[in-house]
Amino acid sequence: MTTNAISQVLVFFVVLLGLAKPLGWYMARVYEGKPVGLDCLLGPVERALYRLCGVRPADEMDWKRYAMAMLLFNAAGLFFLYGLQRLQNLLPLNSANLEAVPADLAFNTAASFVTNTNWQAYGGETTLSSLTQMLGLTVQNFVSAATGMAVLVALIRGLNRSTSTTIGNFWSDLARSTLYILLPLSLLLSLLLVSQGVVQTFDSYQTATPLQSVVHEQGNSRTEPTEIIEQIIAVGPAASQIAIKQLGTNGGGFFNANSAHPFENPTPFTNFLEVLAIVLIPASLCYTFGVMVDDTRQGWALFMAMMILLLPFVAIGLSAEQSGNPLLTAAGVDQLSNAGQAGGNMEGKETRFGITGSALWSVVTTAVSNGAVNSMHDSYTPLGGLVPLFLMQFGEVVFGGVGSGLHGMIVFAIIAVFVAGLMVGRTPEYLRKKIEPYEMKMAALLLLIMPIVVLGFTALAMSTETGRWSILNPGPHGFSEILYAYTSQGNNNGSAFAGLNANTPFYNLTGGIAMLISRFWLAIPILALAGSLASKKPVPVGPGTLPTHTPLFVVLLIGVVVMVGALTFLPALALGPIVEELMIRGS
């Protein structure tokens, strides 16, 4: 790695560390209902929301009512988004005259945005009208993120309360996440992005007369080549959507190329802001957790575990991509880094970001369940592509999605105290709550569902003709494409090895089901866990209590995450990227 690469990575993590504490403190105040400084402006809006919905925010819910409210709200969102896509040809703000979205694709896209995945089987600029992007996708970017945060806060309350039957009010958690956290941050970020060149207009296209025309061979010798003398440049209300797709760990691009597109991510500075926005809220929530359980050391312990899991992958990803593709060197291509060029494996990457800006992004966007891309992961070197794949397979707990990442990590912490309890023969406790068979059953559900979904659907796709038909790249890389697709959807990430033709009824349906299971089948056990923990009396801390803020516990937690992640997926990884890496070295 070059000095500049190390500096860029260092500055990124220092800024993140600097922002995590103040934002985490702010979010804790939001969820504890304390004044946050925006109350005079947003307070009336919040109260009007409750009044019109007939909701009293002080009415607390038990876990079943909380879960039901969450599921109904998301179901309503799913149907609304599906309908919007199916009818977009009849609705306004469709200046490009796009047709209605086909049923299977509309289902997949609706499931994708409601579950905070933002898997995109469509190309933004060629499939969805501005109305669908705004009323459908942008809205779900906000509320799916807010849903994740609400479930997390419910779990934290469960840990913090004693002999309580309730875990909060879903409507209030949803509204406050959206109003006080996501909206102000998105407004700020979108304006910063526009100032750098991200487009924000209600026009759909600009037409330019380029310096030189393109002579386009049709690939058919009988037809004359056509000369293209115009450049149609797609624009749109992009900045407002990009801000929330980054902050809400959504990841769905306004344009097909996502944040590789110069209008989504025009400069190295926007790249820095966007990659920071990916991890900002998930990282800060660790501190929020610490504040809300009255012991910030607990939050920092989880934060450190995530950071220690993340950093080695930054190093591996960066050096794999910087070392380039040996097959191209053989073709007479210079991939060495020097004063004139970044070098490295530049297929699918943008010149302004080079290797550092691209590889750092690929690690962060998959560790965090964001899934936005600024380079094409399918064209990464085998090791460089293994890193994002493997990070998702941890179950999106290395920061993970807003809310969902931390609640996943808290479950791993519960498993870690259980494992430690087994070793020394004591009843496991986490934050003074006894961990008993019911909690372990819920935690085990969380561990099992995701691998079953990911590996089951991968096996199904590999063993059917329809599944294999979509593969673009031959050999083990083709298997990686399918494994990546279900890993991404089964962990609500949304990035892709995009060579796979995912817009087929088979992939749209199986992928949509995978996303829905992974999101909601996991959220329900989390809320059940919250309800069960809330009802317990805290046990006094004794000499036999395992402290959960120490370096020892951090190491134990990392061990549990790695064991579960690695052991489950290593055989599948061996068939894909690992074989490909061996092939490339052998050639």
Question: Does the footprint of other proteins cover residue 211 (CB under 8 A)?
Answer: yes
Q: Closer to other proteins at the Cβ: 543 or 586?
A: 586
From candidates 144, 246, 298, 325, binder to other proteins by CB under 8 A? 325
Q: Is 268 in the site for other proteins (CB under 8 A)?
A: yes
Q: How far is the CB of 548 from other proteins (least distance, A)?
A: 35
Q: Helix H segments across 177-263?
A: 183-196, 238-247
Dist CA 564 CA 554 (whole Å): 16
User: Which position among 338, 463, 540, 542 is part of the footprint of other proteins (CB under 8 A)?
Assistant: 338
- C-beta separation of 356 from 9 below 8 A: yes
Nearer to other proteins, 165 or 427 (CB): 165
Determine the Cα–Cα distance for residues 383 and 390; give it in Å rounded to an integer. Answer: 10
- Angstrom distance (rounded) from CA 502 to CA 467: 9
What CA–CA distance (Å, rounded) separates 305 from 470? 38
Instruction: Assess 206 for contact with other proteins (CB under 8 A).
Output: yes
Among positions 237-256, residues that touch other proteins (CB under 8 A) are: 237, 239-241, 243-244, 255-256
Q: Which stretch binds other proteins (CB under 8 A): 123-131, 426-434, 520-528, 552-560?
A: 123-131
Query: Considering CB under 8 A, how many residues would be counted as binding other proteins?
Result: 136
Under 8 Å between Cβ of 193 and 180:
no
Closer to other proteins by CB, 63 or 430: give it.
63
Q: Is 154 exposed, middle or buried (0-12, 13-18, 19+ CB in 10 A)?
A: buried
The one among 30, 63, 77, 429 contacting other proteins by CB under 8 A: 77
User: Can you read off the two tokens belonging to residue 563?
Assistant: 């064991």
| Contact status: 429 vs other proteins (CB under 8 A) | no
Question: Using alpha carbons only, how large is the chain's radius of gyration in Å?
Answer: 24
Please report the sign of the dihedral spanned by the C-alpha atoms of residue 533, residue 537, residue 541, residue 542.
negative
From 235-243, 422-430, 445-453, 559-567, give the range in contact with other proteins by CB under 8 A. 235-243
Single out the segment in contact with other proteins by CB under 8 A; choices: 175-183, 396-404, 436-444, 484-492: 175-183
In the list 113, 180, 263, 418, the residue contacting other proteins (rule: CB under 8 A) is 263
Using CB under 8 A as the binding rule, whether residue 177 contacts other proteins is answered as no
- Find the binding residues for other proteins in span 493-552 (CB under 8 A): 497-499
- Identify which of residues 162 and 329 has a Cβ nearer to other proteins in the complex: 329
Q: How far is CA 276 from the centre of its chain?
A: 13
Cβ proximity to other proteins, 25 vs 520, nearer residue = 520
The smaller minimum CB distance to other proteins, of residues 324 and 525, is found at: 324
Encoded tokens for 29: 């105040």
Neighbours of 560 (CB within 10 A): 21
The Cα-based distances of 130 to 53, 89, 118, 242 in angstroms read 28, 11, 17, 14
Nearer to other proteins, 89 or 126 (CB): 126
- Map the footprint of other proteins across residues 27-56, applying CB under 8 A: 45, 49, 52-55
The string of DSSP codes covering 520-576 is IIHHHHHHHHHHHHHTSPPPPP-TT---SSSHHHHHHHHHHHHHHHHHHHHHHHIII
Task: Select from 104, 173, 274, 350 the one that contacts other proteins (CB under 8 A).
Answer: 350
Tokens at 287, concatenated: 């501190």
Residues in 272-301 that interact with other proteins by CB under 8 A: 272
Q: Which of 104, 274, 429, 580 binds other proteins (CB under 8 A)?
A: 580
- 223 binding other proteins? (CB under 8 A): no
Minimum separation from the CB atom of position 56 to other proteins (A)? 10
Q: Is 453 in the site for other proteins (CB under 8 A)?
A: no
Residue 55: CA atoms inside 13 Å, Cβ hemisphere, count? Answer: 19
Q: Which of 163, 220, 223, 351 binds other proteins (CB under 8 A)?
A: 351
Q: Which phi and psi (to 5°) does residue 293 adopt?
A: -95, 15
With CB under 8 A as the contact rule, the residue among 162, 165, 195, 427 that binds other proteins is: 195
Q: Which residues, 135 to 154, sit near other proteins by CB under 8 A?
A: 135-136, 138-139, 141-143
Short-list 238, 501, 511, 490, CA closest to 369: 490
Question: Of the candidates 342, 406, 528, 561, which one interacts with other proteins according to CB under 8 A?
Answer: 342
End-to-end CA distance of the chain: 25
The answer to the question of residue 4 lying near other proteins (CB under 8 A) is yes
